[in-house]
Structure 1
Amino acid sequence: MSSVQPCGTSDDDRRPPLNDILSIVRRGLAIEPKRLPSWLFYDARGSALFEQICEQPEYYLTRCEVALMEQHAGSIADSLGSEVRLVEYGSGSGLKTRMLLRQMDRPVAYVPVEISATPLSQSMRRLAEEFPALTLQPLCADFSKPLRLPIPPCAPRRTVLYFPGSTIGNFEAGDAVKLLRKMRNEMGDAGGILVGVDLKKDVTRIEAAYNDRAGVTAEFTLNMLARLNREIGSDFNLSAFRHRARYNPMAGRIETHLVSQAEQQVKVGSSRVNFRSDEVIQVEYSCKYSLEDFAALAAKAGLAVMRSWTDPQQMFSVQYLVRTSAVAR
Structure 2
Amino acid sequence: MRLHPIAYPALALSLFATAAPALEIEPEVVAQGLQNPWAVAFLPDGSFLVTERPGRMRVIDSKGALGQPLSGLPAIAAGGQGGLLDVVLDSDFAQNRTLYFCYSEPGNNASNSTALAKARLSSDQRQLEDLQVLFSQKPKKASQLHFGCRIVERPDGSLLLTLGERSHFKEEAQNLQSHLGKIVRIGKDGSVPKDNPFVGRRDALPEIWSYGHRSPQGAALAPDGTFWMNEHGPQGGDEINRPEPGKNYGWPVITYGENYGGGRIGAGITHQKGMEQPVHQWTPSIAVSGMAFITSDRYPGWKGNMVVGALKAQRLERITLAAGKVTGVEPLLPQLGQRVRDVRQGPDGWLYVLTDRSNGQLLRLKTQP
Task: Return the TM-score normalized by structure 1.
Answer: 0.25
The structure that is strand-richer by fraction is 2
Answer 1 or 2: higher relative contact order, Cα 8 Å, separation at least 6: 1
The structure that is helix-richer by fraction is 1
Task: Return the TM-score normalized by structure 2.
Answer: 0.23
